[in-house]
Structure 1
Amino acid sequence: MLRLSRARLRLLAGAAVLIAPGVAAAAPANGSPAAANAPAVNAAATTADPAAASDPKDPTADQQAQAESGLNDVVVTATRRETNLQKTPIAINVLGAETIRERHVQSLLDLADGAVPSLRVATFEARQTALTVGIRGIVPLDANQPAREQGVGIYIDGVYLGRQHGLNAALFDVDRIEVLKGPQGTLFGRNTEGGALSIVTKAPSGKFDLRATAGVANYGGYNADLHIDLPEVNNISLKFDGVVQYQDPTTKNPLAGQKGWNYFDRRGGRVAVRWAPRDDFKADYAFDFGYDANSPFYSQLLNYNPNGCVAGAASASAGCVLPGTSPTSFTGTVKPLPGIVQVNGDDRMKTADIGVPQNPSIDKTHGTSLHLTYNPADWIELRSITAYRTVSSTQWDNSGGAHRVPVYAPNGLFSRYSLADLYQHQFSQEFQAVGSLPQIDYAAGLYYFTETANDDAATPSSNQWNANGTAYTIVDPLRGSNGFGSQPGFRSIDRASRAKSKSYAAYGQLTFTPDGFDALHLTAGGRYTHDDKSGTLFIVNNAPSRCPVAQNPAPLCTFSEKNDRFDPMATVAFDASADVHLYAKYASGYRAGGASSRSISYRSFGPETVNSYEVGAKTEFLDHRVRLNLAGYIMDRKNSQVDFSNVAPLGNGTTRNTLETINAPGTTRIRGVEADLTVNPVQGLTLTGSYAYTYTRIPPVLNPFTNVQQNVFIVYTPRNAASGSIDYSLPVAGASLRFHLDGNYAQATQTFDQYATKNDSSFIVNGRVALADIDLNDGRMLTISLWARNLFNEAHVYRRDPSNSLGALTTSGASSINNILGDYGNFNAPRTFGVEGSIRM
């Protein structure tokens, strides 16, 4: 028998209290049960897109339908079949094509503003080359190494993307983005302990359709996309997509000929082919490629020696103690800043104080997939998904200048140029059987995934001070950093590794609706996974790795890990009425273990696991004009993977970032409540509001560098987050005038596992005004729009690193303050705005 803790009972009881008013308000006056023909799968979710099911070719008909029936139904595929969002017992948010357009979402990074409060998206470090994606407090800090895994599964048309790199590529003609919250281990597999983000693109229709958009924006920005659907010929339908997105830097680089920061140049194309020779069979083939040239966000020095560190007793400068250390004294001196170095923690800098070499980082993605669907009988559909994908990433990050170590020294080298390459290729094969029998819906499948990923990194210095800090020079890119440089072939390699992974899985899920009691739906499922991972660390500090580290010579550092895992799931769903759907769910999930290529010993760590308990309600009332969805959950995570980082100058012109990942002891507690409201009070007006409360606590752990116990934190997880939007549409001279405004709030939160220091709270407003569906005759429809992101130019530090303002790592009684500068961090993007024109025929 399951025994719940008092905290768990309190949270579930609180969620029930929240759900009860919605049930009471939504229940019909006569208390009648759900209709006898209610689908077998139903329960809780929400949509951030009130027009997700609308047909953009017929806005008038859509408005009339909405006036008559209220909010539109939204179809999702979270259970491997198409179901009504409101009747699916999973907490889901859906961003439909219209919402994506209204918010001017061009890539996943644009969701960092908080459109879905429990979904958090951030750059890794300051770099756009890799994204950190988290849901419900499952947010890995550094998952961009070959042997590390994500905590949220990212999928494109059912194909899992194994790496964080390449996730910021331009989006192709997206039909919707489904955000599935909580463990999705049964149907979506490993590395979905926090949830899954499923991107669904528009498939070929077999009917001619041409859509084109072009626009210009501030910061030299422009964008264009073209989508062509061709008529079906000999049972073959073709669709072509192309996209271009460009923005000049928002922080200028004083060094002539070099890129500034927060620049991007994205391009991509996609070809989709559908062959449907019979009613019971179809084959969908797709090929896509993406090119993303970009530069990181600028890293500013936010303050100078903010803790007032001085040499002497540590008790006199307690704020200078690095977490995980216990020094008795501080030694050394805090170096003065050269006069040309700017300290600015109030607003983003428009021009950097120091000019540095800055090449664009380049991400390239390629993918091909084949989806086969066969219906041999009414009760079963057989599917096959075969996919191969590659990603390459060349990182050039010189965003810190004089704002990071190395600190000033006469004629000293400075400006850490973080260079890294990653190359990955993956293959996956999945077979699915989905269908229905009397009183039973089922889904089952087999899955295979394999990948190989290589990385290498170097961190030379690119600049050199003069004798008194009044000027600087750019060093030779081949040999200027103590005999090494930034160009390939001349680098001092900090690390180089290769990791391989294979995963096999079998899964199944069955929903039973008792005969004569159609309001009750019982679901049980499970997934068995076998993981086989291995890796080799070839180079550490420009020499072959050695394990044991103290032995010389010694074998190269390697790791090998095999895991067998079974993740069960059980759901009880109940239709309290035709418009009220309740559910209670238990699910488990896990994230595979691995090894840190930033560790000099290639230290390995085990998988982390999570058990989730959730209750929810999905309700509609007032004649389908109000939709209120609520969820409360408790997640207990074991063996949480925690990152500890130490950046230190090596004295040869490079600065090494050593990162150790360990499994935390005990149970990490994650608790939360989510609420989503959509209201259609009058024709043409839609209001939405979403809120997420997330409590997290990891037990104290031993710092792997010092063996001293310290507190650690879950990153990018605000305790409180909310979003809301207003959409209004009215007919104007045969066209449609549309207004959109959304606001997104997030409370301050930690951005590093090992530091209590938080970033800033944020409130971002986006807007759009469009004159849509202007009839140009001959079936051509024109839309003209004005858009703005971060409308009020709000500035907040989204990533704050205090390591430069604290004493050095030490295992003895003395800690050096010689390398103290201050906190450095990154501001969010400034206001961007533009005009677009779209035509459809």
Structure 2
Amino acid sequence: MNRQKHLRLRLLLGSAIMAAAIPAFAQAQTAPAATEEQSTALDDIVVTATKRETNLQDTPISISVVNSEALADRHVQSLMDLADGAVPSLRVQTFEARQSALTIGIRGIVPNDANQPAREQGVGVYVDGVYLARQHGLGAALLDIERVEVLKGPQGTLFGRNTEGGALSMVTRKPTGIFDMRAVAGVGNYGSYNSELHVNFPAFNDFAFKVDGVISVQGPITKNPLPGQTGFGEYDRRGLRIQTRWTPTSNFTADLAADIGKDKNTPFYSQLLNFNPNNLTVVPFTSATVPSGSIRALAPIVQVNGTSVMRVADIGVPQQYSVDDTRGADLHLSYHPNDSVEIRSITAYREVDVEQYDNIAGAHRPPIVGPNTNFSRYSLAGFWQHQFSQELQAVGSLGDSIDYVAGLFYFKETVSDDAATPSTNRWNADGTGYTINDPTPTIRGFRSIDRASTAHSESKAIYGQATWTPASMASLHLTVGGRYTWDDKDGILYMVNNAATNFTFDSSVDRFDPMVTLAYDVSDQVNVYAKYSTGYRAGGASSRSLTYRSFDPEEVKAYEVGVKSDLLDNRLRLNAAVYAMDRTDSQIDFSLVTVVGASTRNTLETINAPGTTTIRGAELEGQFQATENLRLSASYAYTDAKIPDTVNPFNNVLQKVFIAYTPENAFSVAADFDTPLMGATFKAHLDVNYADATQSFDQFAITNDQSLIVNGRVAITDIQTAPGAPSLEVSVWSRNLLDEQYVYRRDPSNRATIGDYGNFNTPRTFGIQLTAKY
């Protein structure tokens, strides 16, 4: 980013914050002192990180919370939108450039390719306590989220398997039995529109009902010049959830929910960022051969653009929506036999079905073998998963000194996939034009299958955690917990390069994950803690391997000290944590792209790195209620991750490896202002999010670009049009307000044959939205 852009950003931010601060300061001068003290205190934040409702400031865990107001201010409609850096320790990225599978990372635990049947995530994703086991489907529309809790560091005790980096826990709004309705409608650029309907129905006997429906649509960021084909960066996300709450007695509650979602999307365009970066001898495109040490010239119509996203692709290709279908049901039971204990049951079943269509690169990556030959790799894949989970919990207290959680957990899933990569286009003799190949190989049943596999997982666990507060020292809290897990996993890779195979793996692992936390209340406003915990990510096998190569679990030991404080009469909140994590058997991906006939194959081997991977970091988070009307927020994350040099299995060479999508420095700052305005309320929000450049792959030192994203929203709320009429809100929003362009994913795999290709972030989006509340 050049100096002029930095200067422009500083001036814009300074002007916005001054514009918010001056009227707020003026109004504050006329407010009575007692009212000022009361109105400028920060609100308490309730979290459920310990399986019980606690005050965030009293919970000795590093947690960031994004509440419903913050989600609205940032116009967050799916987890994809949290990729802007709202929580600096949380990293959200697409797998490849596909919106159909998201990589979720926390504190340097960022599995780059966990979207295979026998591979796992390193961060657990939960909705209302139900584990979502797959990356696929995570980009679906969000359905009335009350808050998102980001738990940082291993959560192996209470949350279990595959939470070595932490957990992302989404909590939805529940039925109330009191009628209310919220309707939302909005439009924006790129042909976008969104609508929501949330209805709480009046209670009927002992039953309360709630319905949530969401539609979110956006047109292409990059247009496809081939007539009749979808563009790139589109989405059409729809979701519906129905909930009922039965409360037959004061001490028993049953919540039953069912949801269904459809996420139609296309990948972001992968464009050629440079040509011939190795400075090889260039031979004409029409040359019959390419000697060793040379590179074929680009076809005349191929464009190179490494500075901004292309708004129209240079090559038209067959492209249709990828479709993610998600559905599930969950039953939550809660019984209070007495005031000291609550018995809970969470039963859930979920499915994800994906049909992937990914033709994102045209002639920007192999095969590009020359005149009268095929090119443009169409990645076609199917992915099918279903899971069942059952959890029993006892949450209670023993006298005034001990609070405890105990539980049993069972999880089982079956996952299958297949993949094919036909080439859809064919060059003419001089590269000035192309034709489209016979579409038959793109139809299921006619595809030449690169790979096909099925995997099964079964996990059982028993866990417990207790916090002891000595009667003689009420400011001291000792928490001890542990979880014993039995993991069984097997799989079969039954087709490779369209030939039947019988490669299998079978794994059984049992392990114990402890946790110890010592917390001390320095005062009513300041708490400090020290924590030791462990976690792991299950092993598996790579279905992209030619031999279904298996790998072991990776394990992490974590040490953390932190402080939480509410100061200045609860107007200033400062939280900080410093941590060290030592990870063994790190799962590292090595890939090799090869041309196979008229197409390409991406072979990926996953191996366990030798020695210890060290991850060191610090996190700071603060809020300041400057006046009754102005609130300032800031957070920062520092991460230093180092993996021992590892042997590349494709060339047996010891090389340096990296943790992908883990910036050394990342921060977010925000300002929120509100004030009465002619019987309504004026609200303004501005946030700025920065991240250092990172690697996109484990095996390549080449980085993508640093990022600086600004989001803003202005709204007039609490508009009363007439007695008994709904309350209205009108808002104008923008994501990436300054239209910053950066490469978020850069792939140097094809440097010797063409150049680097990659993907730019979404350009500026904006819109207007109307909300009616009854």
- Band the TM-score falls in, shorter-chain normalisation: over 0.9
Q: Give the letter for the 2:246 counterpart.
A: W
The match for 1:441 among 395, 403, 406 is 403
Deviation at 1:67, TM superposition (A): 4.2
Distance (whole Å) between structure 2 residues aligned to residue 833 and residue 690 of structure 1: 25
Counterpart position of 1:152: 123
Counterpart position of 2:27: none
Deviation at 1:613, TM superposition (A): 0.1
Q: Mark the CA change 1:490 to 1:775 in structure 2 (over 3 Å): closer, same or farther.
A: same
Spell out the pairing of 1:456-467 with structure 2 (5 A cutoff).
Answer: 456-467=418-429
Specify the SS of the correspondent of 1:292: strand
Spell out the pairing of 1:361-400 with structure 2 (5 A cutoff).
Answer: 361-400=322-361
Deviation at 1:422, TM superposition (A): 0.2
Specify the SS of the correspondent of 1:99: helix
Deviation at 1:734, TM superposition (A): 1.6
Counterpart position of 2:540: 594
Mapped contact 1:408–1:469 kept (Cα < 8 A): no
The answer on 1:562 being equivalent to 2:524 is: no
Mapped contact 2:40–2:628 kept (Cα < 8 A): no
Q: Give the letter for the 1:526 counterpart.
A: G
Counterpart position of 1:405: 366
Q: Give the letter for the 1:543 counterpart.
A: A
Q: Mark the CA change 1:504 to 1:64 in structure 2 (over 3 Å): closer, same or farther.
A: farther
Distance (whole Å) between structure 1 residues aligned to residue 555 and residue 280 of structure 2: 41
Mapped contact 1:67–1:682 kept (Cα < 8 A): no
Deviation at 1:307, TM superposition (A): 2.1
Instruction: Please report the TM-score for the alignment, with normalisation by the length of structure 2.
Output: 0.94
Distance (whole Å) between structure 1 residues aligned to residue 292 and residue 483 of structure 2: 55
Q: What are the Cα deviations for residues 398-457 of structure 1, in whole angstroms up to 9, with x where unaligned? A: 000000001241101000101110000000000000011220000010000000000000
The answer on 1:543 being equivalent to 2:499 is: yes
Counterpart position of 2:199: 228
Deviation at 1:657, TM superposition (A): 0.8
Spell out the pairing of 1:22-33 with structure 2 (5 A cutoff).
Answer: none
Counterpart position of 1:17: none
The answer on 1:274 being equivalent to 2:235 is: no
Counterpart position of 1:607: 553
The match for 2:766 among 801, 826, 833 is 833
Specify the SS of the correspondent of 2:426: strand
Mapped contact 1:336–1:408 kept (Cα < 8 A): no
The answer on 1:642 being equivalent to 2:613 is: no
Spell out the pairing of 1:258-297 with structure 2 (5 A cutoff).
Answer: 258-297=229-268
Q: What are the Cα deviations for residues 222-272 of structure 1, in whole angstroms up to 9, with x where unaligned? A: 000000001111110000000000000010000000001000001010000
Mapped contact 2:273–2:755 kept (Cα < 8 A): yes
Counterpart position of 1:581: 527
Specify the SS of the correspondent of 1:112: helix
Q: Give the letter for the 2:358 counterpart.
A: D
Counterpart position of 1:489: 445
Q: What are the Cα deviations for residues 371-393 of structure 1, in whole angstroms up to 9, with x where unaligned? A: 00000011110000000000001
Mapped contact 1:338–1:408 kept (Cα < 8 A): no
More displaced stretch, 448-457 vs 435-444 = 435-444
Distance (whole Å) between structure 1 residues aligned to residue 184 and residue 579 of structure 2: 42
Deviation at 1:98, TM superposition (A): 0.2
Mapped contact 2:40–2:626 kept (Cα < 8 A): no
Counterpart position of 1:451: 413
Deviation at 1:288, TM superposition (A): 0.3
Q: What are the Cα deviations for residues 127-150 of structure 1, in whole angstroms up to 9, with x where unaligned? A: 001000000000001000000000
Mapped contact 2:452–2:496 kept (Cα < 8 A): yes
How many pairs were matched up?
Answer: 732
The match for 2:755 among 822, 827, 831 is 822
Counterpart position of 1:468: 430
Q: Give the letter for the 2:296 counterpart.
A: K
Counterpart position of 1:352: 313
Distance (whole Å) between structure 1 residues aligned to residue 762 and residue 653 of structure 2: 38
Distance (whole Å) between structure 2 residues aligned to residue 184 and residue 175 of structure 1: 22
Q: Give the letter for the 1:281 counterpart.
A: F
Q: Give the letter for the 2:429 counterpart.
A: A
Counterpart position of 1:185: 156
The match for 2:211 among 216, 236, 240 is 240
Counterpart position of 2:577: 631
Query: Relative contact order: is structure 1 or structure 2 higher (C-alpha 8 Å, sep ≥ 6)?
Result: 1
Counterpart position of 1:802: 748
Greater fraction of residues in strand = 2
Q: Give the letter for the 1:447 counterpart.
A: F
Q: Give the letter for the 2:571 counterpart.
A: R
Mapped contact 2:408–2:463 kept (Cα < 8 A): yes
Deviation at 1:515, TM superposition (A): 1.2
Specify the SS of the correspondent of 1:510: strand
Distance (whole Å) between structure 1 residues aligned to residue 551 and residue 478 of structure 2: 37
Q: What are the Cα deviations for residues 701-730 of structure 1, in whole angstroms up to 9, with x where unaligned? A: 111112110110000000000001000000
The match for 1:687 among 609, 613, 632 is 632
The answer on 1:299 being equivalent to 2:299 is: no
Gaps of 5+ in 1: 1-59, 312-329, 479-484, 546-555, 807-819
The answer on 1:77 being equivalent to 2:48 is: yes
Counterpart position of 1:812: none
Q: Give the letter for the 2:274 counterpart.
A: N
More displaced stretch, 687-696 vs 703-712 = 703-712
Counterpart position of 1:36: none
Moved over 4 A (4+): 63-67
Specify the SS of the correspondent of 1:729: strand
Q: Give the letter for the 2:518 counterpart.
A: V
Q: Give the letter for the 2:465 counterpart.
A: Q
Mapped contact 1:644–1:660 kept (Cα < 8 A): yes
Counterpart position of 2:682: 737
Distance (whole Å) between structure 2 residues aligned to residue 658 and residue 620 of structure 1: 52
Spell out the pairing of 1:61-72 with structure 2 (5 A cutoff).
Answer: 67-68=38-39, 70-72=41-43
Counterpart position of 1:715: 660
Distance (whole Å) between structure 2 residues aligned to residue 169 and residue 224 of structure 1: 15
Counterpart position of 2:287: none
Distance (whole Å) between structure 2 residues aligned to residue 638 and residue 310 of structure 1: 44
The match for 1:252 among 220, 223, 235 is 223
Gaps of 5+ in 2: 1-30, 283-290
Instruction: Please report the TM-score for the alignment, with normalisation by the length of structure 1.
Output: 0.86
Q: Percent identity?
A: 61
Deviation at 1:66, TM superposition (A): 7.7
Specify the SS of the correspondent of 2:151: strand
The match for 1:125 among 61, 75, 96 is 96
Q: What are the Cα deviations for residues 638-672 of structure 1, in whole angstroms up to 9, with x where unaligned? A: 00000001111101x22111000000010000000
Q: What are the Cα deviations for residues 42-79 of structure 1, in whole angstroms up to 9, with x where unaligned? A: xxxxxxxxxxxxxxxxxx9xx97984351000000000
The match for 2:132 among 157, 161, 168 is 161
Q: What are the Cα deviations for residues 463-522 of structure 1, in whole angstroms up to 9, with x where unaligned? A: 0000111100000111xxxxxx21111111000000000000000000000112000000
Distance (whole Å) between structure 2 residues aligned to residue 633 and residue 731 of structure 1: 43
Q: CA RMSD in A?
A: 1.2
Q: Give the letter for the 1:753 counterpart.
A: D
Distance (whole Å) between structure 2 residues aligned to residue 578 and residue 790 of structure 1: 40
Deviation at 1:779, TM superposition (A): 5.8
Distance (whole Å) between structure 2 residues aligned to residue 142 and residue 131 of structure 1: 10
Q: What are the Cα deviations for residues 728-771 of structure 1, in whole angstroms up to 9, with x where unaligned? A: 00001121100000000000000100000000000000000000
The match for 1:424 among 385, 402, 406 is 385
Specify the SS of the correspondent of 1:230: strand
Q: What are the Cα deviations for residues 573-609 of structure 1, in whole angstroms up to 9, with x where unaligned? A: 0000000010000000000000000001000000000
Spell out the pairing of 1:748-827 with structure 2 (5 A cutoff).
Answer: 748-776=693-721, 777-778=723-724, 780-806=726-752, 820-827=753-760
Distance (whole Å) between structure 1 residues aligned to residue 132 and residue 649 of structure 2: 31
Mapped contact 1:337–1:408 kept (Cα < 8 A): no
Counterpart position of 2:13: none
